[in-house]
Structure 1
Amino acid sequence: MNIVKLTALLLLPLALGACADLEATPKNKGVDRGPIGVKSLTQLKAGIWVDPTGCDHWIIDDGVEGYLSARLDKYGKPVCSGIAPPNVATGPFKAGGDIRDPVKPGEKITYTR
């Protein structure tokens, strides 16, 4: 076994260990911990994405990360409001973030309500 393979074999556990999450469950999941635009998720605007079965999901896009959660009624059942066709996101879900998604020249982005 040559020195390169031996070194790679010895460094592999260190490299994989660097990928491990140091804190398995963050104490407060309602805060964006990214290096840019750190803020409470309550400061971002949510929209609704309708899944292929017609049920609603809350959606937020801050430009770097996206957040998605099923929209549930007070009994924990999915809300299927029919606000938009399946596989369509509606509302200002990209508003409030510090980073904007790239837009192609001539492309017009609109948010429906």
Structure 2
Amino acid sequence: MKTLKITALVGLVVLVSACEDAAFRELGPDKTIDRGIDSKHLSQLQAGIWVDPNGCDHWIIDDGVEGYLSARLDKYGKPVCSGVAPPTYTAGDFKKGATSLIGDPI
């Protein structure tokens, strides 16, 4: 029974390792592209600002299926803490770029 479990585990690892495509191995995943049904570059979606519990801003995009969050940084790489909203709240219509499966705005 132990041999069967080890064989099954090795087979599973080999099977899953084959899921990686050549572009991923060479360049890594391109995280600037939405890969949903109506995929588009993230710069074409509407971003909002979520304020973390410390009061610092994060860019947020929700396209209905996937969500994206990134720290908002100044030109020196330091966090921006603008006070645009209270901590743990969002500002802006970050769901504006979302569409339903038939293409109507949600």
TM score, norm. by length of structure 2: 0.73
Which whole-Å deviations, capped at 9, do the CAs of 1:87-108 have from their partners, x for residues lacking one?
A: 11121111112249xxxxxxxx
Which whole-Å deviations, capped at 9, do the CAs of 1:8-35 have from their partners, x for residues lacking one?
A: 34532244325x5431413x4322123x
The separation in 2 between residues aligned to 1:50 and 1:9, in whole angstroms, is 43
| Residue ranges of structure 1 left out of the alignment (5+ in a row) | 101-113
Identity of aligned residues (%): 62
What SS does the aligned partner of 2:59 have?
Answer: strand
Instruction: Name segments (4+ residues, structure 1) moved above 3 Å.
Output: 4-11
Q: Say whether the 8 Å CA contact 1:63–1:94 is kept in structure 2.
A: yes
Aligned residue in 1 for 2:65? 64
Aligned residue in 1 for 2:78? 77
The reply on whether 1:33 has 2:35 as its aligned counterpart is: yes
Aligned residue in 1 for 2:17? 17
1:94–1:6 Cα change, 3 Å? same
What SS does the aligned partner of 2:58 have?
Answer: strand
* Deviates most, 71-80 or 91-100: 91-100
What SS does the aligned partner of 1:53 have?
Answer: coil
Aligned AA for 2:59?
W
- Name whichever structure is richer in helix by fraction: 2
